[in-house]
Amino acid sequence: MAKDIVAVIGAAQTKFKTHYADKTYIELAQDAAKLAMDEAGVTPDEIDAVVFSMAPTQFMGVNDCDRWATSHVWGAGKPYMRIHAGGATGGSALQAGYVHIASGVYRTVLVVGADRVAETPDAQHILNLIWDRFYEHDFALNTVTMTALAAQRYMARYGATEEQFARVVVRGRKNAMGNPYAHLKGAITVDDVMNSPRVAYPYKRFDICPRSSGAAAVVLSNLDVAKQKCARPAFVNGVSAITHSVFMGDRMGVYSETEFADHDGEHIAAYEAYRQAGITDPASQIQVAELYDPFSTFQFPIVEGLGFCGRGRAAAISDEGGWDMVGGQVAVNPSGGTLCTNPIGVTGLVRIVDAANQIMGKAGQNQLPGVHNAVATAAGGSTQFFTVTMLGDDHVAPRTNV
Amino acid sequence: MDVFVIGQAVHKPAARIGDKRLEELVFDTTHAALADAGVKRAQIDHVTIAGCDELDGRSISSMLLAAPAGAQLRDEMKCTDSGLTGLCLEAMRLEAEIFDLGLLVSWSKPSTAPLEDVMRMRCEPFYTRPVGLNMAITDGLFAQAAGAKYGFDEFDADEAVLDSYRRAGRNPRGMGHAVPHVEAIATSPYVATPLRQAHQAPITDGAVAMVVASARWLKSNPRAKPLARVSGIGWRNEEYDLGADRLAGLSGFRATLDDALKMAGVKSTADLDLLELDSQTGFHELAYRAVLNGHAPKAISTSGGAFAQNPYFCTGLINAAEAILQLSDQAGPIQIPGAKRAVAHGSHGFAQQGNVAVVLERV
């Protein structure tokens, strides 16, 4: 419980696609900023500070591109900082915006970002450069091969199959059909996934997210502003981020505090966020989960880590429809999730936008009834940076009022 | 704002720290800060990192550096603007009352990533990159615009640089650069008229770490001795595009100082015992002093600022560390007797697009 209450009063995203030939990077960011401010009913003059969400700038080719975007997101002359945590950037940026307000320093903050991942001919080459230059560059290690290793370990531990992962893709693409902003969508079958070209075992092409371009933004405010501007804000009731060692081998085995295959950092972050938000039984208290799952194999360990079921149970529950948007015990990725849309520098923020809009009743065709609590996650680095953000339709008491 | 620095460490600077990997540089500095604070990493509940991928020559540099910075299985957040921006973020994280004891770690090793190559790639691809804009040229444009507005020229900059080196020479924690002869400054090659090579503060490698605590933590740990209180923070960005007003107006510098002083309840910079400026060139030093004209603090950049050491990304945070040493009577031969209140300034981006200020007070 923080000092001041923080709420999302406006959340927006652009459409996502591979290339935007008709807009520059800064125009994309501006589009999202304007959409979010319009949703919040605030003008740029009412924004006290800006947090910019951007992961490696090598994808789009302008170093520290947040500086270029300053004026276009109405940040010139204002407190302005950029947050970067790899794939977890959007979640971390939201949490940075949160502390701007929770600390009592500012009243209204715009969190905004954009990415153009496909600007580089080969994102995986850039993602090879995240590794240690002396020991790991030459291993052809990138985010695909890295996470494939974790998936193999998960399969070995719990018996999950490629077909079960394929069902995650089918469900995501189907959900995305109701999301006008999603990059990939459509009715596909398990066979379609299984027959797509092999990339790195157990991945086929359809198991892997696209390289997306687009932008997202959120307007955060304190309780006073939220009361004036928003009939149904999404309160930020819990925030947590956990960082792990970059070395995957140090996250498994008898001497490890955590288990690499289980995305354990996410579990630690989730239960801290739940503690702050007063969530004691996540499976019954949380209606929507927007997960950072750029690969089909991420979803099972994440929902287990979030406490929606026991370890090794998620695949079977998935087969029974337990994570379906309609009729599931928790609606997992009603937006289609990261498998369908991955603008890396803002993906975590897109998760927040989609989760907040479910709380605020603004999720359009995919709006679910009775959403009181939603959780949004993000992950980055060598699946080592984990953020978990709890959103609710009511706020928990601030510490100063306890 | 009630946030306290209870320990800190600044790595010994060098033009090139060639005997350590970046991870070792960060680990050693973080370890020394924890030792200075007398706390164990196990007591730390969060870490704030300020780092720049591009200057580190890596795509996500915190992947390898978070653990050496103490963030293994801790709540960690990274900003990319400047080291001193990291202190502002860290202060807000503590002030939000969700944490109690944190590490702030920042580093810069430009010897492994040539600064001007990184800066040139900061140019957008349509207009400024094709014309070859870089940091030296933007500083040259700044020198022209600010000189015209405030009435100084390169000869004044020669003297400003000389004065900075003299102050830096008295700082035992600096590089110990020899104080150059004024003629050597005045005849050094032009890099962008009127900016000469010797007007620029030499770039160095370095790192800095601080252990920062909430008021609540201090209350429950009465044996801990805070070095200084963070009472005000401010940071602002100006436009990316460079016009005459943007270059010489220094509106970001003014507003940032105003924000931090207002939060700390300080009326004027004249009420400060010390202001440590992040002046990357002699022209910057002159321009900042011109803005302060009539409201000058009792002392300015006693440490020598960037001319003492200049690990570019975290020079502003080094300024904070120097100010904290003054407020805790640990500044050695450059100690200002009885210093009670200081401001650390940092800047970043082309022609100081970003400015940061932190008010620090004696406890």
CATH number for the domain spanning B109: value is 3.40.47.10
Q: Compute the nearest-CA separation of B70 from chain A (Å).
A: 10
Contact indicator for B354, B235 with CB cutoff of 8 Å: yes
Give the whole-angstrom CA distance, residue A398 versus residue A390.
Answer: 15
Question: Is A363 part of any domain?
Answer: yes
- Cβ atoms of A219 and A108 within 8 Å: the answer is yes
Its pTM surpasses 0.95: yes
Tokens standing for residue B31: 């370890």
With respect to residue A108, please indicate whether it lies within any of the assigned structural domains.
Answer: yes
Inter-axis angle of helices B282-292 and B154-169, nearest 10: 90
Nearest CA in chain A to B53: A56
The answer to whether the complex's ipTM is over 0.85 is yes
Residue A199 inside a domain? The answer is no
For chain B, how many structural domains are there in total? 1
Structure tokens at B90: 């860290």
Whether residue B76 and residue A61 make contact (CB cut-off 8 A), yes or no, is: no
| Residue A98 in contact with partner chain B when CB distance is under 8 A | yes
Chain A nearest-CA residue for B100: A2
Q: Looking at the domain assignment, is residue A217 inside a domain?
A: yes
B28 found inside a domain: yes
Can you give the residue range of the structural domain that contains A369?
6-121+210-394
A155 falls within a domain: no
Length of chain A measured in residues:
402
Q: Provide the domain count of chain A.
A: 1
Q: What pLDDT, on the 0 to 100 scale, is given for residue B358?
A: 98
Q: Are A218 and A35 in contact (CB under 8 A)?
A: no
Q: For residues A151 and A297, is the Cβ–Cβ distance under 8 A?
A: yes
Establish if A402 belongs to a structural domain. no
Residue B29's domain comprises: 3-114+203-220
pLDDT of residue A118: 86
pLDDT score at A402 = 33
Q: How many CB atoms lie within 10 A of CB B211?
A: 28
Cβ within 8 Å, pair B354-A104: no
Q: Is B168 on the interface with A (CB under 8 A)?
A: no
CATH number at residue A12: 3.40.47.10
| B15 contacts B32 by C-beta, under 8 angstroms | no
Residues 6 or more apart whose Cβ sits within 8 Å of residue A166: A190, A193, A194, A206, A207, A296
Segments of chain B with pLDDT less than 50: none
CA distance B264 to B303: 23
Domain assignment present for B337: no
Which residues, at least 6 apart from B107, have a Cβ–Cβ distance to it below 8 Å? B11, B22, B25, B26, B29, B51, B56, B65, B206, B207, B208, B311, B313, B314
Nearest Cβ partner for A244 among B72, B96, B126? B72
Give the burial class of B253: count Cβ atoms within 10 A of its Cβ; 0-12 exposed, 13-18 middle, 19 or more buried: buried
Which of A383, A327, A325, A381 has the alpha carbon at shortest distance from A354? A325
Q: Which two tokens stand for residue B3?
A: 């946030």
Q: Is residue B157 part of a domain?
A: no
Count other Cβ atoms within 10 Å, centred on residue A271.
18
C-alpha dist (Å) from residue A316 to A157, A167, A259? 14, 11, 21
Instruction: Identify all chain B residues contacting A276, using CB atoms and an 8 Å cutoff.
Output: 98
Q: Could B96 and A66 be called an inter-chain contact, meaning their C-beta atoms sit closer than 8 Å?
A: no
In eight-state DSSP terms, residue A208 is: B
What percent of chain B clears pLDDT 90, i.e. is strictly above it? 94
pLDDT in tens, chain A (402 residues): 678 999 999 999 999 999 999 999 999 999 999 999 999 999 999 999 999 999 999 888 899 999 999 999 999 999 999 999 999 999 999 999 999 999 999 999 999 999 998 888 777 777 787 888 787 778 778 889 999 999 999 999 999 999 999 999 999 999 999 999 999 999 999 999 999 999 999 999 999 999 999 999 999 999 999 999 999 999 999 999 999 999 988 999 888 888 999 999 999 999 999 999 999 999 999 999 999 999 999 999 999 999 999 999 999 999 999 999 999 999 999 999 999 999 999 999 999 999 999 999 999 999 999 999 999 999 999 999 999 999 999 998 764 433
Q: Is there a domain that residue B26 lies in?
A: yes
DSSP string of A271-309, one letter each residue: HHHHHHHT-S-HHHH--EEE---SBTTTHHHHHHHTTSS
A133, part of any domain? no
Q: B163-176, pLDDT tens digit by residue?
A: 999 999 999 999 99
Position A304 in a domain: yes
